[in-house]
Chains A and B, each alone.
Chain A
Amino acid sequence: MENKKIEIKDLTLVFGDKKEEALKMLEQGITIQEIREKTGTAVGVNDINIDINEGEMFVIVGLSGSGKSSLIRCMNMLNIPTKGQLLIDGEDITKYSKEQLMDLRRNKVAMVFQHFGLLSHRTVLKNVEYGLEVQGVSEEEITKKAMEAIELVGLKGWENYFPRQLSGGMKQRVGIARALTNEPEILLMDEPFGALDPLIRREMQSELLSMEDYMEKTIVFITHDMNEAFKLGDRIALLKDGELVQIGQPKDFFENPANDYVKSFIEDVDKSRVLRVRTVMRQPFTLARKGESREAVIKKLESFDREFCFVVDEDRKLLGYVAYKDLIKLDKSNINEAIVTDVESLHRNAYLHEVWGKLDKSNYDVAITDKAGRLRGVISYEDAVSALA
């Protein structure tokens, strides 16, 4: 089972003065509209429970005013929850002291903002350096790290420009670079592409995916665009009026929409174009390691009733596959000579409709890999069909 990075427990956030009163009314089941009228308080988040796994891209989606920003701002305590707990790596950050909180913000959690939140009086480089500068890191170290981040987001050569000289897309790249220089474990992104036009937006989405692909950060991403949510999210939480309506993998929303509200949300989403292989793939039934003994692999294949399985090295890098019929004929003690390196594989960020081309050619599973060539999962014809059904 995957590690829980962020655990949100019974979290409620009320804006305004009469917090206690509002909490009581919430318990009595009074609607937040009524609470707003009676007490003048706004309920941003209402009793939410969510676990976010380490390394996943978690998307929070919902209409304007549904409480997405309210919730994500609790994750670095820009908003202070009225009730409930918020655990990061098992520690309740709502109980943190000022120093602990500062430490959390400096080292573990970074945020990217919808309107970029850049410092207009600083150059791109100085903006990106900010997070390390406040920590009193040495000048060279700061600049080195900042330049790396700038390069990563493709802004090399723009270091000495000011934000006002950049386009929207570039500004957000600065925002992302700034968040990355601290090497945070968690990246909070509040509608980061909301202010960008569609073309740039799509470009930024795929760049984010490819960045995330090898950084293995936990990313919490907010959007009100269902297409964007499905494209990016490993898992998605749908909010309405501060409450959690449904949480799950993208395919879950299509397979089991919780109610009509969810249905209306996904109505005009073209599944095959937004569902990514990564959210549909499953773990292989069995795997062989390079250098593993012939007998062990044969036994595994027999016990799972498989014709073949993929072979990986120590780092889980995909090397090829071995077939049962080849192995029984092989007269070596290990499987290395039977490995077929000509193997169908697909990047895990590919859309589902791209799978068809591969599946037509073989009746076997297609291997799903990441940028580093590591085997992340497999997908078969049946998996793909059932996901789109």
Chain B
Amino acid sequence: MFSFPEGLRFQISGPIDDFVNWLLVNLGGFFDAITRFILTIFNAIEVTLNIIPWWLMVIALFYAGYKLYSLKMGIALSAMLLSIGFFGLWDMMLYTLAIVIISVLVSLVLGLPLGIFMAKSDRTKRIVMPILDAMQTMPSFVYLLPAVMLFGFGKVPAVFATTTYALPPLIRLTYLGISNVDKEVIEAGLSFGSTPKQMLMKIELPQALSTIMTGVNQTTMMAMAMVVISSMIGAEGIGEQVLISIRRLEVGQGFQAGLGIVFLAIILDRVLQGFANRLKETE
């Protein structure tokens, strides 16, 4: 009487599974290529990060904080980085950082052209905008699903999920930055006979740079959030540490790892924000 009748079923899970299988069979080479590509970049970035001595990173961060903000900020940021080391999370931090960096790089490669394209073509904008809206309302969890389906477990699906989750703000802000360039400045560019390429490179992109930088910052923050969640599909790094602690009910360990994530997020945010502010000043 109160329960849904068992006879009334219309399930779409079957066709979806079929579709994914079909994808994997027919486009397997394509996904393999992506996997190899991501792994290559990941290794390159991880190797690079591991070559840099820890103390150099701390000093560099101190200097960045000092230059972009103040002496206090320099001290605070480098202290946060140091405590990540004290917590024994240094290597995991590098791993997490590597995934974030790849995701931001891929986002740049995809997001910049798409954002520019949206600003130039009304049609593209009308198609992409609702997709971005949908992507941004979807819970981050949902992104894990296609990642696992297409790439299985490990760092590759983690990069995939992180990138798709983090991409929208960069597209949106690139679009915003380009389409908000002062109309008279655009006209000035045209009136001197600039080619479309010159318009883009010499006028539109430089004028939109600080807005795009804000987009990079937001994308990085979203990537940070997602990379932690991606530990559920096999990404190592600090997120995994949290996950392990939850399973083992090690509250102290978990809290420490969580704090490490927060510190890393703050460091990235402050540094990128500082750059964005620098750019804004020139407007």
Give residues 222-245 of A contacting B (CB, 8 Å). none
| Closest Cβ–Cβ distance, residue B8 to chain A (whole Å) | 50
Partner of A78, one of B190, B198, B209, B283: B190
Given contacts A105-B190, A110-B191, A135-B193, contact A162 B184 (CB under 8 A): no
Give residues 169-189 of B contacting A (CB, 8 Å). 182, 184-185, 187-189
Give residues 200-238 of B contacting A (CB, 8 Å). 202-203, 206-207, 209
Interface centre among B182, B188, B189, B282 (most CB of A within 10 A): B188
> Is B26 part of the binding interface, using a Cβ–Cβ cutoff of 8 Å?
no
User: Which chain A residues border B192 with CB–CB below 8 Å?
Assistant: 105-106, 110, 130-131, 134, 178, 182
Q: For residue B281, which residue of chain A has the nearest CB? A: A164
Given contacts A106-B192, A119-B207, A120-B283, contact A134 B202 (CB under 8 A): yes
> Is A113 part of the binding interface, using a Cβ–Cβ cutoff of 8 Å?
yes
Contact with B along A257-272 (1 / 0, CB 8 A): 0000000000000000
Given contacts A78-B190, A105-B190, contact A119 B195 (CB under 8 A): no
Query: Are the C-beta atoms of A113 and B184 separated by less than 8 Å?
Result: yes
Partner of B182, one of A73, A107, A110, A117: A117
Query: Are the C-beta atoms of B190 and A162 separated by less than 8 Å?
Result: no
Provide the bound-state CA to CA distance between A104 and B194, in Å.
11
Query: Are the C-beta atoms of A121 and B188 separated by less than 8 Å?
Result: no
User: Which chain B residues border A103 with CB–CB below 8 Å?
Assistant: 193
Given contacts A121-B283, A162-B282, contact A134 B195 (CB under 8 A): yes
Query: Are the C-beta atoms of B207 and A121 separated by less than 8 Å?
Result: yes
Partner of B188, one of A104, A109, A117: A117
Give residues 48-105 of A contacting B (CB, 8 Å). 73, 76, 78, 101-105
Query: Are the C-beta atoms of A117 and B185 separated by less than 8 Å?
Result: yes
| Closest Cβ–Cβ distance, residue B268 to chain A (whole Å) | 25
| Closest Cβ–Cβ distance, residue A304 to chain B (whole Å) | 48
Query: Are the C-beta atoms of A78 and B191 separated by less than 8 Å?
Result: yes
> Is A118 part of the binding interface, using a Cβ–Cβ cutoff of 8 Å?
yes
Query: Are the C-beta atoms of B198 and A134 separated by less than 8 Å?
Result: yes
> Is A115 part of the binding interface, using a Cβ–Cβ cutoff of 8 Å?
yes
User: Which chain A residues border B202 with CB–CB below 8 Å?
Assistant: 119, 130, 133-134
Contact with B along A133-170 (1 / 0, CB 8 A): 11100000000000000000000000000101000000
Q: For residue B198, which residue of chain A has the nearest CB? A: A134
> Is A111 part of the binding interface, using a Cβ–Cβ cutoff of 8 Å?
yes
User: Which chain A residues border B184 with CB–CB below 8 Å?
Assistant: 113-117
Partner of A121, one of B189, B193, B194, B209: B209
Q: For residue A111, which residue of chain B has the nearest CB? A: B191
Number of interface residues of B (CB under 8 A): 20
Q: For residue B194, which residue of chain A has the nearest CB? A: A134
Q: For residue A132, which residue of chain B has the nearest CB? A: B192
Partner of A120, one of B190, B195, B207: B207
Q: Chain B interface mostly helix, strand, loop or mixed?
A: helix
User: Which chain A residues border B206 with CB–CB below 8 Å?
Assistant: 119, 121-122
Provide the bound-state CA to CA distance between A130 and B193, in Å.
10
Query: Are the C-beta atoms of A119 and B193 separated by less than 8 Å?
Result: no
User: Which chain A residues border B191 with CB–CB below 8 Å?
Assistant: 76, 78, 105, 109-111, 188
Given contacts A105-B193, A111-B191, A135-B193, contact A121 B282 (CB under 8 A): yes
| Closest Cβ–Cβ distance, residue A93 to chain B (whole Å) | 13
Query: Are the C-beta atoms of A106 and B193 separated by less than 8 Å?
Result: yes
User: Which chain A residues border B283 with CB–CB below 8 Å?
Assistant: 120-121, 164
Query: Are the C-beta atoms of B187 and A117 separated by less than 8 Å?
Result: yes
Q: For residue A188, which residue of chain B has the nearest CB? A: B191
Provide the bound-state CA to CA distance between A111 and B203, in Å.
17
User: Which chain B residues border A115 with CB–CB below 8 Å?
Assistant: 182, 184
User: Which chain B residues border A109 with CB–CB below 8 Å?
Assistant: 191
User: Which chain A residues border B195 with CB–CB below 8 Å?
Assistant: 102, 134
Provide the bound-state CA to CA distance between A117 and B190, in Å.
11
User: Which chain A residues border B207 with CB–CB below 8 Å?
Assistant: 119-121
Interface centre among B187, B193, B202, B209 (most CB of A within 10 A): B193
Interface centre among A118, A121, A178 (most CB of B within 10 A): A121
Q: For residue A122, which residue of chain B has the nearest CB? A: B206
Given contacts A102-B195, A134-B195, A162-B282, contact A113 B188 (CB under 8 A): yes
Query: Are the C-beta atoms of A111 and B188 separated by less than 8 Å?
Result: yes
Q: For residue A106, which residue of chain B has the nearest CB? A: B193
Provide the bound-state CA to CA distance between A294 and B264, in Å.
97
| Closest Cβ–Cβ distance, residue A156 to chain B (whole Å) | 23
Provide the bound-state CA to CA distance between A121 and B189, in Å.
13
| Closest Cβ–Cβ distance, residue B17 to chain A (whole Å) | 48
User: Which chain B residues border A111 with CB–CB below 8 Å?
Assistant: 187-188, 191
Provide the bound-state CA to CA distance between A78 and B203, in Å.
17
User: Which chain B residues border A118 with CB–CB below 8 Å?
Assistant: 185, 188
| Closest Cβ–Cβ distance, residue B214 to chain A (whole Å) | 16
User: Which chain A residues border B193 with CB–CB below 8 Å?
Assistant: 101-107, 131, 134-135
User: Which chain A residues border B282 with CB–CB below 8 Å?
Assistant: 120-121, 162, 164
Provide the bound-state CA to CA distance between A114 and B202, in Å.
21
| Closest Cβ–Cβ distance, residue A123 to chain B (whole Å) | 10
Provide the bound-state CA to CA distance between A134 and B187, in Å.
15
Provide the bound-state CA to CA distance between A114 and B187, in Å.
12
Provide the bound-state CA to CA distance between A192 and B185, in Å.
14
User: Which chain B residues border A76 with CB–CB below 8 Å?
Assistant: 191
Q: For residue B191, which residue of chain A has the nearest CB? A: A111
User: Which chain A residues border B209 with CB–CB below 8 Å?
Assistant: 121
| Closest Cβ–Cβ distance, residue B191 to chain A (whole Å) | 4
Q: Which 4 A-B pairs have the closest CB atoms?
A: A117-B188, A105-B193, A106-B193, A117-B184
Chain B residues near A (Cβ < 8 Å):
182, 184-185, 187-195, 198, 202-203, 206-207, 209, 282-283
Having A73-B187, A121-B209, A188-B191, one finds 8 other A-B pairs with CB under 8 Å, namely: A78-B191, A102-B193, A102-B195, A105-B191, A107-B193, A116-B184, A120-B185, A130-B202
10 contacts between A and B (CB under 8 A): A109-B191, A111-B188, A116-B184, A118-B188, A119-B206, A120-B185, A120-B207, A120-B282, A121-B206, A130-B192
